[in-house]
C-alpha cells in the first residue's frame, strides 16, 4: 500500500529541513505543493548541494518527483487525483510553501480522505511558524489556542474574539492565544484585541529564522504605534490570566 507523507519544510532558513524530509521528498513519486515553483526551487537547492547519490556502485542524478499544485482553490479537484495515484501504488508527499502542512494551510481534507480509503498517512515533522513563535515568546506554553487567521470582516473578527474572551475569562490557569495576521490587517486586529482584551502584554513575531527575524514584546497600545508600516506575515501571541 502506498503512503501519503505530510512533510514539513523550512519557514525561512533552508538549513532547518530535516534529513528525513529530504529523503522522502526525493523518494516519492509525486509531491502535492501549495506552489510548485517554490517547491521546485527548494528541491533544486538541495539537488545542487548533493548532485548525485550512490546506487549499485553507480553515480546517479537525484530523481525528480512529479510536482502537482494543491492549494485551497483546487483542493476538491485534486483530492481524487492524488487518491488514485496512491491507490495505484505511488507514494506521495504533501508540502506547503513553508512549515507544516495542514496548519493554517490546505491538507486536512486530503488526510481525512486517505483515512477513509485506508491509505496510510505518515507525518514527517519539522519547522512550524506557530510553535517557533510560541517557544520564543516567553508566554505560557503548556496551554495554548491557535486561532489561525481571523475573519477578514471586522464584525465577524470581533465576534470571534469576544466569544473567546467570554469563554476564557473564568479559566483559572494561564492560556496563550496565537493568531496569524497579514500586514494590511495587522493594525486593525491589534485595535480589536485592545478593545476586547484591554491593555494586554503581546508578543509579535515575523520573519522567524530569517536574516531580519523580529520578536517584539510590549503593551498592545505600544504595538499599534510600533507597527505603522508592517511587511510580511505576523504571528500574534498574548496570554490570559497570566
Q: With contact defined as beta carbons under 8 Å apart, do 199 and 183 qualify?
A: no
Domains of the chain: 3-127 (3.40.1010.10), 130-240 (3.30.950.10)
pLDDT of residue 46: 87
| pLDDT in the model for residue 10 | 97
- At 51 the pLDDT is 47
Q: What does the pLDDT average to over 61-71? A: 86
**CA proximity to 116, closest of 91, 80, 78, 74:** 80
DSSP 169: T
Residue 60 has pLDDT above 80, yes or no: no
pTM for the model stands at: 0.90
**How high is the pLDDT of residue 1?**
76
Mean pLDDT of 48-66: 60
CB atoms within 10 A of CB 185: 18
Amino acid at each position: 500500500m502506498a503512503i501519503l507523507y505530510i512533510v514539513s519544510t523550512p519557514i525561512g532558513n533552508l538549513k532547518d529541513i530535516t534529513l528525513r524530509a529530504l529523503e522522502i521528498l526525493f523518494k516519492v513519486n509525486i509531491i502535492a505543493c501549495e506552489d510548485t515553483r517554490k517547491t521546485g526551487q527548494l528541491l533544486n537547492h538541495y539537488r545542487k548541494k548533493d548532485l548525485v547519490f550512490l546506487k549499485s556502485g553507480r553515480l546517479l542524478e537525484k530523481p525528480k518527483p512529479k510536482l502537482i499544485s494543491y492549494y485551497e482553490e483546487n483542493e476538491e479537484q485534486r483530492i481524487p487525483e492524488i487518491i488514485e495515484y496512491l491507490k495505484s501504488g505511488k507514494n506521495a508527499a504533501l508540502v506547503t510553501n513553508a512549515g507544516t502542512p495542514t496548519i493554517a494551510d490546505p491538507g486536512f481534507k486530503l488526510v481525512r480522505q486517505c483515512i477513509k480509503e485506508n491509505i496510510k498517512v505518515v507525518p514527517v515533522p519539522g519547522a512550524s511558524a506557530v510553535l517557533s513563535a510560541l517557544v520564543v515568546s516567553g508566554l505560557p506554553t503548556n496551554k495554548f489556542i491557535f486561532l489561525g487567521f481571523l475573519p477578514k470582516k471586522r464584525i465577524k473578527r470581533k465576534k470571534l474574539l469576544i466569544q473567546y474572551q467570554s469563554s476564557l475569562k473564568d479559566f483559572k490557569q494561564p492560556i496563550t492565544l496565537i493568531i496569524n495576521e497579514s500586514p494590511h490587517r495587522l493594525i486593525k486586529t491589534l485595535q480589536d484585541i485592545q478593545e476586547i482584551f484591554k491593555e494586554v502584554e503581546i508578543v509579535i513575531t515575523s520573519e522567524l529564522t530569517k536574516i531580519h527575524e523580529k520578536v517584539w514584546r510590549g503593551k498592545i497600545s505600544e504595538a499599534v504605534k510600533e507597527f505603522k508600516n508592517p511587511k510580511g506575515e505576523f504571528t500574534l501571541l498574548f496570554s490570559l490570566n497570566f
